[in-house]
Amino acid sequence: MVPAREFGAWLDDYPRLMLPTDIARAVISSGVALAIAMLPLLVVVLVAARLTRRRVPRGLAALLPILVAVCLGYGLLVTDELPLVRAAALGGLGLVLAVAGVRGWIDTAGLVLLSAALPWAIYAGAWLLDGFVAGQSIDAWAALPPFVTSLVAIVVGVSFVRFHRGYTARHPPPPSPADPSTRHWGVVGRAISGPEVLGISSPIGAAFVALFAGSLISVTAAHGRPILETGAIVIGGTIITGLATTLGWAFGRTPRSRRAFEAFAWLSEWELGRFRDLIGGATPVTMTGMKRYVRNTTERAEDRWVRTEILAAIGDLAAARDMAARIPDDTPYGRVERIAGESYVDWLSGGSGNTEGLREATLAIQPADSDERLRAEVVLASGQVRDRISAGDPDPTAPLRAVRDRLGRRADGVLLAAARRVARTYVLMAGAFVVIFTLIDHATSP
């Protein structure tokens, strides 16, 4: 829409500010200059707070993606003749939105959309006003598609913010005497993923890099091409980007993270297959599907193990505690599951859990090298990981890595199995990125 040389030469073209676009250029340039100046200072503050383990106000942390979004929106505005840079700006914007979505920061995602669209809305709106000021000498209607696009982005962003605030007001988090930063249902998974930088672990970071790079290449390849060629590039780019993102998630791990994950995933894959057999394929084997199953089906003795986990995940600890107490313990592994369920809920509630009792139940399973015994050892190791997290242990996943050594070749292929299970999600995500970025690129190109 706005060639970079045209935007950068406005002071030479107009000795005085006469048209709305002149004022818009001045406002946008000043705002972006301020954002660029604030970004390094904010990054230093956040990194220092992270290193010193000091709490950062959420508003200050949310300012970082907003400033980045302003800069990326400006980049989209001035890089019409540079498709590679333009695609990089689109991919960067998508990366910020994806991080916000993964972290559950719907309000931040809305503010990011609004911030990125603001430079477009200001300049395109001013360009439309030029038609009234300068008459036929300016083709103001060329600004209509990007102006409408920016308004839609702003409306969606505001809707995200309003939805998040309304949802939070209607569904406040359940009160808990425990520290929510260390005691929640997904804490073992987060520990396995390894250290986080600005909320991003290495596997998620590797996945986002692959998603960003694939989207960038796809949008660049489709820039300025006819509809049929663009469609073919979008389809191919979606598949390749989705698979690359999946592999990034699977293999973008440190050696420690990978070994702990393999032990944890070995048990998880067996439990997912167990749940699939339980429901007979009637419900998707996803967290959403499991929640629907618990909500819509009648309790049975053989499904109380999964009901305990889901009730704990949604924060209904009283119901989860009652469910765990009814898990059948008439078999050695059933006794492990019952003690593990009760220990898990007790830990979430702020207690110490019962890992010693769980260890005794695990050792009672014979023979020691059987699959059932090893599954129990992974359950025990997960409980020990939670204990280590509560104690502030710098290496909480050591118990899972120890079990991985005992698993041997049993868990060698589990990483690819887990990757196949999430591949569909990442391909759909890649499709959304590539399609949306390509549409925006075509809508805002001359």
- DSSP secondary structure letters along 283-341: S-SSHHHHHHHHHHS---GGGHHHHHHHHHHTT-HHHHHHHHTTS--SSHHHHHHHHHH
∠ Cα 89 90 91 (to 5°):
90
- Least confident among 3-12, 334-343, 379-388, 390-399: 3-12
Length of the chain as a residue count: 446
Average pLDDT over residues 240-251: 90
pLDDT (tens digit, 9 = 90+) per residue, 195-225? 766 556 788 878 888 887 888 788 778 877 8
pLDDT in tens, 134-161: 554 556 566 677 777 778 878 887 887 7
pLDDT of residue 374: 93
Encoded tokens for 256:
């420690």
**If you ran DSSP here, which 8-state letter would residue 127 be given?**
H
Residue in this structure with the two tokens 């629907």, named with its chain if needed: 292
166 vs 299 pLDDT, higher one? 299
pLDDT band at 401 (very low <50, low <70, confident <90, very high): very high
Q: What is the DSSP letter of 409?
A: G
DSSP label of 173: P
pLDDT digits (tens, 9 = 90+) for 358-367: 899 999 998 9
Residue 23, classified by CB atoms within 10 Å of its CB into exposed (0-12), middle (13-18) or buried (19+), is: middle
